[in-house]
Structure 1
Amino acid sequence: MILFLAIAISIYTAMHCLVFWGIHPLLAGHRYLAAAALLWMLLMIIAPITVRLLDTGGSPQAARLLALTGFTWMGLLFLACSMFAVIGIVELFSRLLLLTIPGLPRLPLHGPLIATAVLLMTLATGVYGYGEAKNIGVVKIPISTDKLPAGTELLRVAQISDLHLGLLNRGSFLEPVIARLKELKPDLLVATGDVVDAQINHLDGLSTMWQEIQPPLGKFAVLGNHEVYAGLKQSLDFLQRSGFIVLRNTGLTVDGVVRLVGIDDEQIWNNAVHENAILQAQPLELFTIFLKHRPTVSGDGAQLFDLQLSGHAHRGQIFPFNFLTGLKYPRQDGLYRLSPGSQLYVSRGTGTWGPPMRVLSPPEITLFEIRRSNSVI
């Protein structure tokens, strides 16, 4: 954990340095303004850690205010950093080109006009991203199978993922999610991890809101990495009070209609449990849904389920970070055919982690309409 924090802080500091380089033309000749910018950036670098210390130290209101400020800044920084990185690369190539071909005109990329344009674009994109994060859409996925039992022509399964309920995402965030689920009236609700965030002690009353959703076949969940950060005991307690049955490296048949198998996030079991062994222990005659937080498929595991539901990657949450998350999780958004009769669906997530914004990665609730083959419904 210490190594992870050191790497994260180093990367975050480097991003601040890049943005400071980008805005430096606006600060040239303004010593006090430059000093204020550096001080602000220093405070923002340590803000995520300070939020955690304030929260655990019994100052929730201060923690929430700093979290809103610090994580909003983080989102804006990501956007500005992406733009200044492109400018920096072009500037570097321009200088290298000038060394090899003297006399070429130099592109005036690193100047006050470009810096101002980047800041304005950053603010505009941030406002758009805040709105996008609030606009939770419904993605409907039709699936046909011959594994539904006679008499069951249609099974409607709703998936939520990565809500990150906690210090920032609270009742006002959860209300529209609950309302949309009520409208969809699924037969079954599944949550594929990170329902809670690291700040677990802000969930009072939210478990009661979940009680408003009572699908006929129940509510099921698996644990993600943020349930670990929040504390397993507290996370499990919240999920169970919310009415979710938590599947921990096990499977069960739901009302003779569908088979559910769920596995803990690798952050918990640290590769000590092999998911294929868990899947192999399950009967395959019914349609099998495999709940796994991270969108990875283990070896020949695709032969052992009909549909895997995952989340975790958020599709980067803020463009262009989807390219970075795509390096680790090539399948990070949408439906993927793994083998004949086996598919993986990766949700972009319903909530947000950190910055309360999304850019070109809209949040979703997913509704799977699983129809029996040859059904006329």
Structure 2
Amino acid sequence: MPLRLFSFSMLIGLGAVLGHLYLYRRLVRPLVRGRLPRLLAIGVLVLMTGVLGNRRTVLDLLPGSAEGLLTMAVYTWMGVALCLVIALLLTDAGRGLTALARRMRPRAPPAPPTPAPSPSVDEDRRRFLGQAVAGTAFVAGGGLAAYGSWRAFSPPLITEVAVRIPKLPKALDGLSIVQLTDIHVGHFIQRRYMDALVQQANALRPDLFAITGDLVDGDVASLGGHVSALAALKSRYGSYFVTGNHDYYSGDEEWSAFLESLGISVLRNRHVSIGDKGASFDLVGVDDWSGGRRRNKKGYDLELALAGRDSDRAAVLLAHQPANFKVAAERGVDLQISGHTHGGQLVPMTMLIGLAWEHSAGLYAHGDSNIYVSRGCGFWGPPMRVGSPPELVKLVLTA
């Protein structure tokens, strides 16, 4: 895939350089007057470019309290800057199209000559128009950022999808699974958000909860109190968790043990039977596709997770990343439930995420097998969502 030729950090660094250069040219130069204010604005843009391009190194050098404040400031600015750039690009595109339309109009007969305005009047007019356009884009970009922040912290939208599984016992027809994924509990998302999310999830009255990774961005000592809200999830067959890449970065073993202490079953490359002797199916869980490799640990192992399973039984696979789906389908998995992509989370990534993932958001089929990829319940990085609202997914299995 084209986007996989570059690391995510490289893309953020390149975007920070180009975006801040553009903001200087289109906002600072027309709006900021005076040598000192302009130098201060340039300094802020250069500082934020450096921090965004090397955020992990910078954050590791800071004490814990300062790290949290800087993380929130940097990611908030990342989102605001992106919204400003989008507003300016749309404004410039509109001006360009208007100018092109004017040039393509039939030319009218030449008007009688009029005295040309003095150079100073013409320069003042251009300066005023430039300031007006920049100011309008600044307001529009700020409004877009405010909307994105509201959307990110608002309750997720409910998505209910029926999925046909031919091998599902008829006695389990209508069994429902509510998926919680990509919550990213951390500096922004904490206990209040988690309590509301659990209440919303319980109101859907599912038979089973599937928590498909990227639950946290931080260690158990810092975030355990917020995550413990998940102990209040209530369903017939319980709650099940699989690791995401961010859970590996945050301590996969420690978090697995903590979640087990809350009564949440952790599926690390293994499967369990859901139902009773009369009617049941296999719930399969795998570790994250890439988190283990990046931490030099054991990770995704589909063969181990499926070992000893009767292939005639229905199987639902919990896997954080929407990777290896076609292989899983050919190995007898009827439904894969994934997240990871956030549906792009913010424009323009919402339009580019399909370049990185064949299955980026929604329901897809391969033969008789299906995969559902959720946009996620929370967010990562900028505390904003534009063009890809958070969702809480209820999957209804039909025989």
TM-score range, shorter chain: 0.7 to 0.9
Deviation at 1:164, TM superposition (A): 0.2
* TM-fit CA distance, 1:278: 4.4
- Note if contact 1:166-1:199 (Cα within 8 Å) is conserved in structure 2: no
Given that 1:316 and 1:324 are in contact with CA atoms closer than 8 Å, whether structure 2 keeps it comes out as yes
| Farther-moved stretch of structure 1 (224-233 vs 84-93) | 84-93
Q: Does 1:262 align with 2:285?
A: yes
Deviation at 1:45, TM superposition (A): 3.4
**CA distance in structure 2 between the partners assigned to 1:53 and 1:64 by the alignment:** 12
Asked if 1 retains the 8 angstrom alpha-carbon contact of 2:219 and 2:251, the reply is no
Partner in structure 2 of residue 114 of structure 1: 133
The residue type paired with residue 319 of structure 1 is V
1:262/1:290 contact within 8 Å kept = yes
Aligned to 2:386: 359
For residue 67 of structure 1, report the CA deviation from its aligned partner.
2.9
Contact 2:284/2:306 (CA < 8 Å) preserved in 1? yes
Paired residues for 1:153-192 under 5 Å: 153-192=173-212
Instruction: Describe the superposition over 1:261-290 as per-residue Cα deviations: whole angstroms up to 9, x where unpaired.
Output: 111112234397553674475323333111
2:317 is the counterpart of 1:297: no
Tell me which residue corresponds to 1:368: 395
Instruction: Map 1:53-202 to 2 at 5 A.
Output: 58-60=63-65, 62-85=66-89, 111-133=130-152, 134-198=154-218, 201-202=221-222
Q: What secondary structure does 2:392 align onto?
A: strand
**Distance change in 2, residues 1:200/1:77 (3 Å):** farther
Does structure 2 retain, via aligned residues, the 8 Å contact 1:51–1:66?
A: no
Q: Does the 8 A contact of 2:198 with 2:233 survive in 1?
A: yes
Q: Note if 1:251 corresponds to 2:271.
A: yes
The alpha-carbon deviation at position 308 of structure 1 amounts to 0.8
1: CA distance between counterparts of 2:92 and 2:260? 50
Tell me the secondary structure at the aligned position of residue 69 of structure 2: helix
Aligned length: 362
Q: Aligned partners of 1:190, 1:255: CA distance in 2, in Å?
A: 15
Q: Tell me the secondary structure at the aligned position of residue 258 of structure 2.
A: helix
Cα distance in 2 for residues equivalent to 1:124 and 1:53: 30
Report the secondary structure of 1:227's partner residue.
helix
Shift in alpha-carbon separation, 1:42–1:183, aligned structure 2, 3 A: same
Q: 2-side partners of 1:308 and 1:324: how far apart?
A: 23
Letter aligned with residue 11 of structure 1: G
> How far off is 1:116 after superposition?
1.6
Residues 342/6 of structure 1: CA separation in 2 closer, same or farther (3 Å cut):
closer
TM-score for both structures, normalised by structure 2: 0.79
Name the residue aligned to 1:105: none
Q: Which moved more, 1:141-150 or 1:116-125?
A: 141-150
Counterpart mapping for 1:47-58 below 5 A: 47=51, 58=63
Deviations 1:201-234 (A, max 9, x none): 4313224321111322111111111112212233
Deviation at 1:26, TM superposition (A): 2.2
- 1:204 and 1:268 mapped to 2: Cα distance? 21
The whole-number CA distance in structure 1 between the counterparts of 2:219 and 2:21 is: 29
Moved more, 86-95 or 116-125: 86-95
Q: Separation in 2 of the partners of 1:59 and 1:272?
A: 29
Change (3 A) 1:336 1:169: same
Q: Structure 1: how far apart are the matches of 2:193 and 2:341? A: 20
> Could you tell me which of 357, 361, 364 is aligned with 1:329?
357
User: What residue in structure 2 maps to residue 99 of structure 1?
Assistant: none
Structure 1: runs of 5+ lacking an equivalent: 97-107
Q: 2:85 is matched by which residue type in structure 1?
A: C
CA distance in 2, matches of 1:302, 1:178: 31
Secondary structure, aligned partner of 1:119? helix
Q: Which residue in the other structure is 1:104 paired with? A: none
What one-letter code is carried by the residue in structure 1 that aligns with 2:136? Answer: A
Q: Distance in 1 between matches of 2:58 and 2:256?
A: 23
Letter in 2 for 1:169: I
1:9 maps to: 13
Distance 1:4 1:349, change over 3 A: closer
Q: Distance in 2 between matches of 1:199 and 1:131?
A: 27
1:35 match: 39
Q: Identity over the aligned pairs, expressed in percent?
A: 28
Letter in 1 for 2:232: E
Q: CA deviation at 1:199?
A: 5.8
Deviation at 1:343, TM superposition (A): 0.7
- Write the distance in 2 (CA, Å) between the matches of 1:278 and 1:320: 36
Instruction: Classify 1:266/1:39 alpha carbon distance in 2 versus 1 (closer, same or farther; 3 Å).
Output: same
| Structure possessing the higher radius of gyration over alpha carbons | 2
Answer whether contact 2:290 2:300 (CA < 8 A) is retained.
no
> Contact 2:184 / 2:215 at 8 angstroms: preserved in 1?
yes
**Using the alignment, how far apart are the partners of 2:315 and 2:306 within structure 1?**
9
Task: Report the CA distance between 1:11 and its aligned residue.
Answer: 3.4
Structure 2, gaps ≥5 residues long: 1-6, 101-125
Task: Give the direction of change, closer, same or farther, for the CA distance of 1:18–1:281 in structure 2 (3 Å limit).
Answer: farther
